[in-house]
Structure 1
Amino acid sequence: MKKLISLCIFLVGWQCLLASQPKNIMLILGSADPVVLQDRMDVAMRLYSMQKFDRIIVSGGCAAHGSSICEASFMHDALTRNGVPQNVIYKEENSKTTVQNYVFSRKIKEADGSPVMAPGDTVYVVSNHWHAISVAARLRKYDRVEAKFFIEGSIEPKASDKLDYVSIFNGEPDNDRFIMKGTWLTPDAVWEKADSIYYLTGSLVYVTDRLNSRFSYYTRSKFFPELDAYAANKELRFIDAGKQWYVSNGEKLLYVDKQSRKVQRIFTLAELIPNLPAAWLNRLKAGAVYGDKLLLFSDAGMLVAHKKSRVFLAGEETSPADYFAGWPYGWGRGNVSALRLDSAKQKVYIYRNQEYLELDAKLKIVEEPRSLRLKWIDDLK
């Protein structure tokens, strides 16, 4: 028995050691130009032929700069055609700028919710353009990875071009501020009161009128004094339920009254949806309760649950493009950050990466996405 216990302890320890080993990761930066993107894939394949990679992140969204391609999907398909196993490729499909390549790629997660890119890993930033240098430098300084850049190709810089592309490395030393500016404004929750609109993004609440002619900002704790305890090292995900929000931190689900903004109940997402697929505990990005339906969104798709008594039962897993007629091509497979219900007008608003969609009472898209690029807070403390 003692030998068996010793063997078990040894095996568990060995598994932990393997799990903690630093990974070799390749981060390939996208381009809206198919010819340039193919050049970058050629560069990536040459690097792939030289050494082993545990993970490959392909970073680029759909229809950037008016293009007709989804960059991450283009790169994923090019890699698999050349023999790269699909299980090592992770698609980041939200970014439309180099800054966003950095911002969104660093947050890509494994199926269990752990980060793909962790401190101590070695990350090769790949491109045919020197912006890879700036991204690698920022990853090394602010994300504690051993970052390198791998650039090949014919590069003829203009006199105005800078080695630190768009000041990615030296332009903003506060990384939280840099990340926020790169995604301004991509809210986690949105609500209205009188003639003001409130946008929660991270630990900041931005308040403005409908025309954004004036604004003010506050810390999240001013409006949600009870949420900070649940947000430590975790991201809060909001499900708009009309007069309340369900707020998930991946472990607990909080039932928060919109009027008082106080936590009324603490339970779990699995209690709300008893047959919830386990993977959705870590996939959830945003959601809304609309009538007898609960719509949940992830990076890669959506889940529709149906009300039964006091709970919801998970139904079909689908994609926004299949569920909503006229889903914008530029919005890819999802990456929704927030939903807002307007019960008085019987409308639903969906937010994603500096844009939003308006849906009518039948969940039909009213028009093309609108810009949500609000004034930046110059004196943000």
Structure 2
Amino acid sequence: MKKHILVLFFACLSLSSWGQGKKVMLVLGSDNKEILLDRVNIALRLYKSQPFDDIIVSGGCAAHGSVICEASLMFETLNKGGVPAAKIHKEENAKTTVQNYVFSRELKDELGKRIIQPGDTVYVVSNHWHAISVAARLQKYDQVYAKFHIEGQVEPKATDKLDYVNIFNGETDSEKFISKGKWLTPNAVWFMPDSIRYFMDNKLYSSDKVHNTYNSSAVGQFFPFIPELANQEALRFIDAGDHGYFLVGSQLFQIDKEKKKISKKIDLSAFIPNLPEQWKIHAKTGFIKDDQLFLFKDDGLLIAKKKGKTYSIIQETTANQYFKNWPFSWGKGNVSAAAIDPNTKQIILYRNQEQLLLNQELTEVSEVKPLKLKW
């Protein structure tokens, strides 16, 4: 009979001083429901032992073919266990432990501010030692005081490393590690006659249409006369065909695609009167076709119709309720970019290394296809 070893870690990563910022818990998800609930119960016990300002629950829908939405299930269980809903933040993109780190470190709250800030103390919680590597990376590259909290009976295999999948030591270039972790998850996509331009974080990647080659440059080099765009950590773009709109704060910058210059600046409230405040902060992308505007945020879809020079809201819903065949793995919306192919006029939606095509009626999506560029 195998001897099971109970391992309880509650360790600190050689902290030189105590964090002066918030106290944040990051709970790592699992595609296995039983394991996931075990991790949530560990998080609940930790929460009841000491106060926390925020809790991030990290895990997407249908990871590795599962039938659960990890972050949603963790949110519900924590809330039922006594954690106020306002303290829990869902990160719903991650499919792997690497992506738990990559997407959680940039997750924003309801005010549009990153939850994990330099100087914060972050507890990485799990029933598996992968929490050690995530905590170590957070402390080294994100200027936080990181701790790992592990409870469980997970038995390591002979080939398992303490540095799970080389999260800490595998790549010392932080920017490259983050890019590889979500490669390719564009914030904006721009079709050209012979190429496609993908904006991800503060970089521009130009690829041929079959994705065999690409080159990269800083956003500021592509838009030398628009410094406001160069300073954005993640561009938000509404595609309208021959032109588009970059959303910067509460302003829209209308861009002439051919000239790569600003045509005009428009206040978002004037463009879409009565737009709810949450949409001003959390809208990620959208597209305009004919007289309709489709706007996406992580958990919602807003549809507006053009009236004169403005757009009037006609429906606020979720993508999975509006579009037929919406994939379970994409949650309620969770679209990072939308683009119009100038040749086919098709609408293409993008999310975490994947893409979908919309039909001409804008009511139904095709099956999920991978989005890959060669490194």
Segment drifting more, 89-98 vs 223-232: 223-232
> 1:344 deviation in Å?
4.0
Compared CA separation, residues 51 and 161, structure 1 to 2 (3 A):
same
Q: CA deviation at 1:283?
A: 0.5
Residue 352 of structure 1: CA displacement?
A: 0.5
Q: Deviations over 1:60-104 (max 9, x none)?
A: 000000111000011111112212221111111111111111111
TM-score, with normalisation over the residues of structure 1? Answer: 0.89
In structure 2, what is the equivalent of residue 50 of structure 1?
49
2: distance between equivalents of 1:367 and 1:266?
35
Of residues 153-162 and 64-73 in structure 1, the stretch that sits farther from structure 2 once superposed is 153-162
1:171-182 alignment to 2 at 5 Å? 171-182=170-181
Which stretches in structure 1 are left out of the alignment for 5+ residues?
1-19, 377-381
1:1-381 pair list within 5 angstroms: 22-232=21-231, 234-376=233-375
CA contact (8 A) 2:200 2:234 kept: no
Q: Distance in 2 between matches of 1:143 and 1:269?
A: 32
In the aligned structure 2, how far is the partner of 1:78 from the partner of 1:265?
A: 47
Residue 104 to residue 77, structure 1, CA distance change in 2 (3 Å): same
Conserved? CA contact 1:306–1:314, under 8 Å: yes
Task: Report the Cα distance in structure 2 between the residues aligned to 1:187 and 1:154, rounded to whole angstroms.
Answer: 39
2:223–2:230: 8 Å Cα contact kept in structure 1? no
> What is the one-letter code of the residue matched to 2:158?
A
Partner letter of residue 139 of structure 2? R
Contact 1:301 1:318 in 2 (8 A): yes
Q: Name the CA shift for 1:247/1:311 in 2 (closer, same or farther; >3 Å).
A: same
Deviation at 1:264, TM superposition (A): 1.5
- 1:21 positional shift: 6.9
* Mapped contact 1:235–1:249 kept (Cα < 8 A): no
Letter in 2 for 1:342: D
Which structure shows the higher helix fraction?
1
Q: Is the 8 A contact 2:250 2:269 kept in 1?
A: no
Contact 1:253 1:266 in 2 (8 A): yes
**Structure 2 spans left out of the alignment, 5+ residues:** 1-18
> Could you tell me whether the CA contact under 8 Å between 1:25 and 1:124 is conserved in 2?
yes
Distance 1:25 1:258 in 2: 42
- Separation in structure 2 between the aligned mates of residue 157 and residue 76 of structure 1, nearest angstrom: 28
Q: CA deviation at 1:250?
A: 1.8
* Corresponding residue number in structure 2 for 1:10: none
DSSP 3-state at the match of 2:112: coil
Worse overlay, 229-238 or 365-374: 229-238
Secondary structure of 1:229's partner?
A: helix
Say which SS state the counterpart of residue 279 (structure 1) adopts.
Answer: helix
Q: Distance in 1 between matches of 2:232 and 2:205?
A: 22
Q: Distance in 2 between matches of 1:98 and 1:357?
A: 25
Q: Which amino acid aligns with 1:192?
A: F
> How far apart, CA to CA, are the structure 2 residues paired with 1:202 and 1:52?
33
CA contact (8 A) 1:299 1:333 kept: yes
SS of match in other structure, 2:281: helix
In the alignment, the residues of structure 1 paired with residue 337 and residue 23 of structure 2 have an alpha-carbon distance, to the nearest angstrom, of 33
Question: How many corresponding residue pairs?
Answer: 357
Whole-angstrom distance in 2 between the partners of 1:268 and 1:169: 43
For 1:56 and 1:354, locate their aligned partners in 2 and report how far apart those are by CA, in whole Å. 26
Query: Does the 8 Å contact 1:71/1:93 carry over to 2?
Result: yes
Distance 1:273 1:226 in 2: 26
Which residue identity is paired with 2:239?
Answer: D
Which residue type is aligned with residue 173 of structure 1?
A: T
CA distance change for structure 1 residues 195 and 365 in 2, over 3 Å: closer, same or farther? farther
Distance, in Å, in 2 between the alignment partners of 1:233 and 1:203 is 7
Give the conservation status (yes or no) of the 8 Å contact 1:231–1:249: no
What is the CA-CA distance between 1:314 and the residue it aligns to? Answer: 2.4
